[in-house]
Structure 1
């Protein structure tokens, strides 16, 4: 049976997409529907909440980083043994790079390419009938993007509901739910987004309450009816795996705990499908990588919040240093910070890190670095041969205090074509940078 899909989108970030997505997933699962989820754009945290509900890997779909064949391959993986796939959009529905059309990184690219109907979440706080023109504008902006209906969020009262519902219906759109405003913040946040799902002790109870709210305030039957079958993805997948980053080793030691958790679901899934084994270990528990592994991957995360504990993790530091004498070690963002000489926490206290690369970083001297990146490798390494192009992103507040003298890992270009110069470092078997890789960059098919 072909899976059906719908996309939950909004005009902007912070409008309630994640709340609506999680509520819908939780309520449909309660009904016995086999639900799956995906997130457009580069995001680690929301997919972990999706996975907590669905029991399936949280996957990402990104039209700038992934060519069409790889997009189809990831989407196909997300629909296995699934009745309904809910795709949560990043940012606003049409937000992305200026060009190229259809590959801007915008959620609308995904909706248009695969014919996924859009449920538009409108935060109506402070608005009345003005929501009608907003809904109509989004519904007519791009002809190949179908807005199936609207969910009104943060509705203040029955009168407010009547005003906003009438305006949306006058715009020719169906109202698929009216979520009443709730006091307080439903999920706590920190500097890189929501606090991780793994850190919520009461997550199960919170999701049950969210499912209750969905049953009371969303039209679940109408939302299910809005989901449409996906096209046959088999032909579109031709060559998709060629763009996937190959496994860095046969047995990959992967740091996994509250400090290291930002490993993309599609990488882990396809590395396993390629025959690799992922062997987790916890630096925060002072564990070293399993010496039987053939590579070590230190994902991003929040090492700046655990710098003192990592500095005192002597078994981890010594074990990783020994491991690196024989096998490749790669660190992304937070992992890169830990591979350096030192890490300055938010209070300005410097903590000694592993020291396998020469740089030092600071979370006290914050500067937001955010955006798409294309990286060209300066030399052969665990990520690929010299000259290979990778696509991904940067998202961090940490800054480099001391650059060190290591050979740069890659040369970066921003998504808009702006040259950003060299990044990261490599020394022997050790590589790292603030750059997060999503896929190899091959010619778009």
Structure 2
């Protein structure tokens, strides 16, 4: 398939024509699973992959890892492969398109994600300029693993926020899923689209890299090599008293960055090495500056959740899926258990993980006042059980730290996933949950 040609209004807005239907799409009956197939066979039938690159698959999996309904994902694949997604417009922090569904009028669908701040861009562009092979890879429309991890360029699970004008309140709905799958095809052919999603256009990025390269070349040409130190032989052999050892180096303000690891057949995965090196540096720096080990008091399961939550692009690549599988197996948990726990950790750290795993009976006080407060805010349908207030699809959990944690599930599924931002006020936590 040839790369879709973008129509440029300016460097920070690109509109791509609608992509043609994919051959073998389930919409035409040639790629659908057989009737009555078990769930795992149906999953394999739909897992042929809309993306052909690791970064395209990373984009797709960041949505799939937090989707509440696999059936909506499958319908989204059918819509995407059948050509239901019209022209796609990409601007900083937003991907927008009209998606044709079962009704005559198409739905306006978008996916939002965080843009990088200036500090993140400095780190990313410095890392790219320091490695000529990174620049060559980008010009060849390839995304190096190490470069993507420098500033968390790829979204992690839960970083993508779908929105659609359709009446379906699924997370995501099939139209948003279809847009996500089609966007992955754009990323396959042009990873600079990912840079634009994160805040800067292709021309701006290339101009900045050119300037940094020119500056680096001038400094390297004009810098004179330092003179080699010399010591007379008589001085070196003369008896002498050795001076006292110098004082230890000052502890740096923050941990250093690990080196960039090459991708080579048979070698350890670069992202796994980067994770281990970054973890060791951060832990050593904390110990040097505080005398405390931030990990020593954690259980193996809590430490596994912390590691997975800190992994850049968790759950997105083959190495990340292997990390989830290995960490889960080492602590007698499934990858789904680990993904749910990671979402809780990112929501509230160790206290958020406790809110996920522990049901307890709170004493009289804030918990008893929560239901009247919710009823006064036009939310009277919450029912209590221990430290939890629930409706069929929403839940608030009162943590031992005094915060309320939001959860969401499909109706009648009892499959609760952490959502929103913790709050001391149950109405505030519910507002964050409904407005995510």
Higher strand share: 1
Q: Same-fold call, TM > 0.5? A: no
What TM-score, normalized by structure 1, do the two folds share? 0.26
What TM-score, normalized by structure 2, do the two folds share? 0.27
